[in-house]
Amino acid sequence: MFHFIEKKISQSVAELVRSRYGIDTAVPLEQPKQSSFGELSIQVAFQMARQLKKSPKAIAAEIVEGLGAIEGVSGLEVAGNGYINVRLDRGAYGRAVLHEKEQEPEARPGKIIIEHTNINPNKAAHIGHLRNAILGDTFVRMLRAGGRKVEVQNYIDNTGVQVADVVVGFQYLEKKSAADVEKLLNDPAVRFDYYCWDLYARVSNYFNDHPEALEWRKDTLHALEHRTGNVVQLAATISDAIVDYHLKTMNRLSVQYDVLPRESEILQLKFWETAFEQLKQRKAIYFETEGKNKGCWVMPASAFKEQTHEDTEDSKVIVRSNNTVTYVGKDIAYQLWKFGLLGKDFYYRPWKQINGHVVYVSTAEPQPAGAPQFGHGDLVYNVIDTRQSYLQDVVVAGLKALGYNEQAERSIHFSYEMVVLSQRTCVELGIELSEEDQKRTHIEMSGRKGLGVKVDDLIDMLIKKALEEVESRHAEAPAEERLHIATLIAIGALRFFMLKYTRNSLIAFDFQEALSFEGETGPYVQYTAVRARNILRKLAGRGEELPDFAAELDETAMRRQLASEDFWQLLLIASKVEASVERAVASGEPAHVAKYAFQLAQAFNNFYHGYPVLTEENREKRTFLLWMTKFFGTQLERTLDVLGIAVPEYM
RNA sequence: GCGCCCGUAGCUCAGUCUGGAUAGAGCGUUUGCCUCCGGAGCAAAAGGUCGUAAGUUCGAAUCUUACCGGGCGUACCA
């Protein structure tokens, strides 16, 4: 509701400013520092003061005079140096909230593509990967909540170095055939993704000690790229199995995908060759004939850097001198495809149905019709950590060099900082640190070193802890039900933990903080929603029906109740779900939604302690309190839903 | 060297994009609160030269510049 009235006021002021002063400007509304100043403040007079060479105060007065009455607004006043403070008509506002139907958001035109997760399919997922997936998934939910059409892509690099290394491990270190590996991954006693986690670390170690063994990797990569020999099948078996594990792990956290584009099809369908032709034709890249990059196709630094210092020093190799293409090259082709600019498409087949949702995977063979159309996005977000900024710049520069300036503008690197391990966490994990690492404040995770906290391990720890809490409170409940509730709490805790930090804040992972259920955490918010539900449940338990709110709370009654500053502030904050989500979308910060959820919960807990609902004797007030309880419950659930967090039946 | 990010309470972080009214929260510490809708909760206290210094401005945590710490990039790895 708040969002609606906010937009209305902003538009009215913008229109007035345009007609009266001929100035075309957006009118953002702020929240006053003190609630006694009103519900909203307009600060547009300050920005106009310079242009008009008039005092902000005078302009503010003119605007107030010119605006006249706005529906739902009870007063406008000039305050301070030129603020215009807006007071809403509380009775009308309350009624409007009461009447507001829960409706589907208005559909917006265009299609947004979000690429996230993108874990190399050669080992189990760790909490660094998890931050990517949860940020991406939550942003998807935020966009969809606002009526936007979103397609979720999870890119699978199934032919890269990391998969090759595990293939090497099976083939050379363990001397296992494809059949042996097949048997291993079907062995219920073996967590195959965990097995590969260890094997990958062993292979990396082996390479360190035996550099000559790197030939194995080179041969494997070559075979994978040219699709020759047994390793192709072996690599496919491994990566397909690991992808399944990743999807399963992510599904525990309610993270889902629409399509899995794979590198193997980018190669087979010759996406790169097509992009290469375009890049050559537009002279976006050139063949280097001298210097250290001799024999390579490179993109000049001037294409992707503001200023260049040394000329050849900074150019980026796209095609290596041995005629193979780098990851960035493939990524340019992939990015072109996302916008429908490549002139080629994958074929698709259903990979799996998870929770009733079909995930498609790319394939090189024509398929019967039935798959939706993927790609052809109008706006593309790539959720990738900040370390890859440089490569993302190169990809965007590729689009620009091909003349796709608009699409380059609409390619957004949704970047975020890493998750690292605190010293204490390393000790708890029993990780032995090198002398060099001990001097550091925190330790970077590394799949190569086998250093990290696996997602499934962390979820299991959280479930175990939540289960202890649930058991101590609900010993009588069936075990299966307790486990279900503990799982919801664990997921709530984990998703919230990953979301409470803004994107460019480095997370120094610490078990004690991640395992906390108190204070600014997911379980705190879940618990609050459960409390609201409990009041209503108790009412129903007494055989009492909910009052007819619309009939009993007419505008006069509403105004009478909302004369209480407490109630008014509570209603205000509870009616800001849309406003808060839209603000978070605009700033690209899922953390803002998490923050709002927490504030909403705090507000309800205040209400809960200050105003006993069921024992209230005044009929009108009791009805009002029940209505607030119901409204808060709904709003808490909606906000948590945007965060991908469910509310348990009880806690 | 160059580029990007970070530095706000004992600890972990919001607030910086878009300058504005008395700089906020959680944890931790101390003190209260269960005849009352479940205490995973609530109330209160203590705790801040917003890294340093200059500049712009009527006004700076927020913009500019320099410097000091820390992190990450700057591969014919991804």
**Could you tell me the strand order of the sheet in which A73-79 lies?**
A29-30, A40-42, A83-88, A73-79
Query: How far, in Å, CA of A391 to CA of A411, rounded?
Result: 13
| pLDDT number for residue A311 | 44
> What pLDDT does A381 receive?
97
A517 CA vs B11 C1’ separation (Å): 18
Nearest nucleotide (CA of A472 to C1')? B40
Nucleotide nearest to A80 (CA to C1'): B21
Q: What is the pLDDT of residues A476-532, one digit of tens each?
A: 999 999 999 999 999 999 999 999 999 999 999 999 999 999 999 999 999 999 999
Which is nearest to A594 in space by CA: A625, A636, A632? A636
Report which residue is nearest nucleotide B77 when distances run from CA to C1': A161
Task: Calculate the CA A251 to chain-centre distance.
Answer: 15
Distance CA A576, CA A589 (A): 16
Q: For residue A503, which of A425, A593, A590 has the smallest C-alpha distance?
A: A590
Half-sphere exposure of A101 (CA within 13 A, CB side): 3
Whole-Å CA distances, A122 to A192, A240, A243: 10, 9, 8
Q: Measure, in angstroms, how far nucleotide B66 C1' is from residue A417 CA.
A: 27
CA A324 to C1' B7, in angstroms, rounded, equals 43
Amino acid occupying residue A284: A
Helix and strand counts by DSSP (H, E) for chain A:
27, 17
- The pLDDT value recorded for residue A12 is 87
pLDDT at A100 (0 to 100):
85
Nucleotide nearest to A626 (CA to C1'): B37
Q: Which nucleotide is nearest to A37 (CA to C1')?
A: B21
Predicted complex ipTM: 0.96
* Token pair of A49 as six digits: 């003061």
Q: Protein footprint on strand B: which nucleotides are under 7 Å from a CB?
A: 1-6, 12-15, 17-22, 25-28, 36-43, 58-59, 70-78
Residue A645: name the closest of A605, A601, A594 by CA: A594
The CA–C1' separation of A181 and B11, in angstroms, is 47
Q: What is the pTM of this model?
A: 0.95
Please give the Cα distance from A638 to A97 (Å, whole number): 15
Which nucleotide minimizes the distance between its C1' and the CA of A329?
Answer: B78
Place of tokens 């503001």: A306
Cβ–Cβ < 8 Å for A397, A404? no
All residue ranges of chain A with pLDDT < 50 are 310-312
Residue of A327, A322, A374 whose CA lies nearest to A350: A374
Nearest nucleotide to A157 (CA to C1') is B78
- Provide, in whole angstroms, the distance separating residue A572's CA from nucleotide B67's C1': 46
Strand, helix or coil for residue A180: helix
For strand A411-416 and strand A379-385, is the pairing parallel, antiparallel, or unpaired? parallel
pLDDT value at position A313?
59
Residue nearest to nucleotide B13 (CA to C1'): A501
Q: How far apart are CA A428 and CA A406, in angstroms?
A: 50
Tell me which protein residue sits closest to nucleotide B14, measuring alpha carbon to C1': A595
Which letter does DSSP use for residue A299 in this model?
A: E
pLDDT at A307: 58
Residues 6+ positions from A541 with CB-CB distance below 8 Å: none
In whole angstroms, B77 C1' to A192 CA is 25
How many C-beta atoms lie closer than 10 Å to residue A206's C-beta?
18
- Nearest residue to nucleotide B38 when comparing alpha carbons to its C1'? A531
DSSP assignment of A36-57 equals GG-SEEE-HHHHHHHHHTS-HH
